[in-house]
Amino acid sequence: MLRVSKLADYAVVVLVKLAADTDCLDCAVQTSPSLACSTGVPEPTVAKVLKALSVAGLVLSQRGARGGYRLQRKLEDISIAEVIAAIDGPIALTACVDGASGCDVRGLCAVHGRWDLVNDAIRNALTGITLADMREAGTPVFLRTLTPAE
């Protein structure tokens, strides 16, 4: 299904939320419990996401009392590709990308190493979209008549 993990989805939500309340980067930090509350994502999950974003250099963490997280860069400077890579690892569609690991039928494979083409296309597409683009839809907080269509 070519899906992105839920964690990556949460990461985008959390990052946008993180920017929404602290439009200046040096303002007060936000804690993971508060982010969990404002996003509706369970707190331990938020913590896990923030941790991954921290090691990836997308957010800054501040330990101790009055600690928390804040954005390290502006939303405009963070691409979706970076977020996905931070959470789910490098963007690689198949196992046999650049011959990394055991493609046991490589000798027979008619498209060996050609997924790189697809990978690059996807990567370029994701790099071209920033978190700021994602936020645009969210700002009208009365978001589109919540039709619980089911």
Partner DNA sequence: TGAAACTGGACCGCTTGGGTCCGGTTAACC
Partner DNA sequence: GGTTAACCGGACCCAAGCGGTCCAGTTTCA
Binding residues for DNA (CB under 7 A): 1, 5-7, 10, 31-33, 42, 44-45, 47-48, 50-51, 54-55, 61-69, 88
Residues facing 95 on adjacent strands: none
71 phi and psi angles, rounded to 5 deg: -65, 140
Helix (H, G, I), strand (E, B) or coil at 149: coil
Q: How far is the CB of 109 from its own copies (least distance, A)?
A: 6
Q: How far is the CB of 76 from DNA (least distance, A)?
A: 24
7 vs 132, beta carbon nearer DNA: 7
Q: Answer whether 15's CB lies under 8 Å from 132's CB.
A: no
Structure-token pair, residue 12: 């985008």
Q: How far is the CB of 142 from its own copies (least distance, A)?
A: 11
40 vs 64, beta carbon nearer its own copies: 40
Residue numbers of the site for its own copies (CB under 8 A)?
1-6, 9, 12-13, 16-17, 20, 38-41, 80-81, 84, 88-96, 99, 101-102, 104-118, 120-129, 133-138, 143-144, 146-150
> What gap in Å lies between CA 86 and CA 57, rounded to an integer?
9
65 vs 146, beta carbon nearer its own copies: 146
First CA to last CA across the chain, in angstroms?
Answer: 21
State the DSSP code for 40. -
